[in-house]
Structure 1
Amino acid sequence: MTNAAVWTAVHQERAALARDLATLTADQWRAPTACAGWDVHDVVAHLVDTAKTTRRSFLRDMVVARFDFDRQNAAGVTRERRDDPRDTLAELRSVVERTSTPPAPLGTRLVEAFVHGEDIRRAVGLRGDYPIAQVTQALHLQLRTTVKMGGGKERANGLQLIASDAPVDSGAGPQVRGTALALLLAVSGRPLSPGEITGSGAPELCARAAS
């Protein structure tokens, strides 16, 4: 998949998320998400920060954070989180078309857009509509990237993941079946609703996602 196709999907998702965020109430902006300690407003601020991040600024921020990813992310949220959520939303709209990125595979922009998009939407009872080819690309990236580097390789070890809506059949072991999006969320450490994934390996994957 070309870089242009990746950025097109990312830009479309940022714009779609901005439209959804415009409908939220003040209470929904404060809703807790699957990102520990972050509410919806925090996750939006994080998306703004990462959209503005360049390779140079990432390295600078990591030095300031003493190479602690959690500290670096927290600093970014503090930097971009406005007092009024509507102002943070305005910042998100301003970065919809940006193509800056930290020093990581470009596919991580898809992972971030889809996974954090679902973090937000699921916290407030919404669902996204994501392009299946790009979701599949994001899933394959997570399956070959270690958890330490933000992926989900270890969570899928010893399991066979089969997507019901995409050409994904990865690994060997007890089977886990679900949509490519559900599998992406699970290997990314996100909780799922009952029945989103099935098969003899589903309880194990859910347990790993929750740990």
Structure 2
Amino acid sequence: MVKSSDGYLWQLVHTERAALARELAALTPEQWHHQSLCGRWDVEDVVAHLTAAASLTQWPWLRSMVMARFQPDVHNQRRLQEHRGNTSAATLERFRAVINSNIAPSSHTSAYLGEVLVHAQDIRRVLGLPHTPSIEASTAVAEFYANRNFAVASRTRVKGLHLSADDGPFSAGTGPRVTGPTIALVMVMAGRWQYLEDLQGHGVEALRSRLESSPA
């Protein structure tokens, strides 16, 4: 199990946000409007969403959810629009402003590290960007996702399967084996079927079936 103190996890969050910001700075206008792996959102939408996630403490988040009648999609879309700039450059500057933010709606820091990792990969996968999150960051999120459902049904998706990273220490569960890079395991737990091609083992087809019946 990786070191998981709150301060250490926030340090990983800051590092991964900074890495994403550096990559975003080199994007073309067309790339900013390329569809991401996150539903109907394009790259700029995802960046605005990450800024929103780093800008709401518990009570403003709860108030926003109440106003959205506890519909997460409505809440997320409203907050995304609030933090999206008039240009992609403005959206990037708003994201840069929260790189070192420790703000979150709850104390589940591993979940908010997961938010950064998953959405960064939602962008990188479609654009072919090279950065891979650190093993420390990916392992912390993988352990959290494998042990509980929080925002995504990650634990449910991998119940009865044995997950094993081939590039780090992460291992969880019992049953048919699913092995591959830690970040690929994180992404399939988050519902991104596109990462199934990076995995091997007898449990992959069961995981594929679950993702087809319950996508992100």
Aligned partner of residue 192 in structure 1, secondary structure: helix
Aligned partner of residue 54 in structure 2, secondary structure: helix
Q: Structure 1: which 5+ runs fail to align?
A: none
Aligned residues: 210
Equivalences for 1:120-139 in 2 at 5 Å?
120-139=123-142
Query: How large is the Cα RMSD of the aligned pairs?
Result: 1.5
For the 8 Å contact 1:44–1:88, the answer to whether it is kept is yes
Percent identical across equivalent pairs?
36
Structure 1 residue 150 displacement after superposition: 2.1
The 1-side partners of 2:195 and 2:73 are apart by 27
Match of 1:173 in 2: 175
Aligned partner of residue 52 in structure 1, secondary structure: coil
The 2-side partners of 1:82 and 1:122 are apart by 24
For the 8 Å contact 2:37–2:122, the answer to whether it is kept is yes
The 2-side partners of 1:4 and 1:193 are apart by 30
Match of 2:190 in 1: 188
Match of 1:59 in 2: 62
State TM-score, norm by structure 2.
0.92
The 2-side partners of 1:196 and 1:82 are apart by 35
For the 8 Å contact 2:34–2:42, the answer to whether it is kept is yes
Over 3 Å off, 4+ runs: none
For the 8 Å contact 1:34–1:191, the answer to whether it is kept is no
For the 8 Å contact 1:107–1:141, the answer to whether it is kept is yes
Structure 1 residue 194 displacement after superposition: 6.3
Classify 1:156/1:193 alpha carbon distance in 2 versus 1 (closer, same or farther; 3 Å): closer
Query: 2:115 is matched by which residue type in structure 1?
Result: E
Structure 1 residue 193 displacement after superposition: 4.8
Structure 1 residue 12 displacement after superposition: 1.0
Classify 1:55/1:194 alpha carbon distance in 2 versus 1 (closer, same or farther; 3 Å): closer
Classify 1:104/1:71 alpha carbon distance in 2 versus 1 (closer, same or farther; 3 Å): farther
Q: Does 1:140 align with 2:147?
A: no
Aligned partner of residue 124 in structure 2, secondary structure: helix
Classify 1:170/1:65 alpha carbon distance in 2 versus 1 (closer, same or farther; 3 Å): same
The 2-side partners of 1:7 and 1:103 are apart by 13
The 2-side partners of 1:206 and 1:114 are apart by 21
Aligned partner of residue 194 in structure 2, secondary structure: coil
The 2-side partners of 1:179 and 1:18 are apart by 23
Match of 1:78 in 2: 81
The 2-side partners of 1:75 and 1:194 are apart by 31
The 1-side partners of 2:130 and 2:87 are apart by 24
Greater mean alpha carbon deviation, residues 152-161 or residues 186-195: 186-195
Query: 2:85 is matched by which residue type in structure 1?
Result: R
Structure 1 residue 169 displacement after superposition: 2.3
State TM-score, norm by structure 1.
0.94
Aligned partner of residue 90 in structure 2, secondary structure: helix
1:145-170 Cα offsets, whole Å, 9 max, x none, are 226x3240111012111111222221
The 1-side partners of 2:144 and 2:46 are apart by 22
Q: Structure 2: which 5+ runs fail to align?
A: none
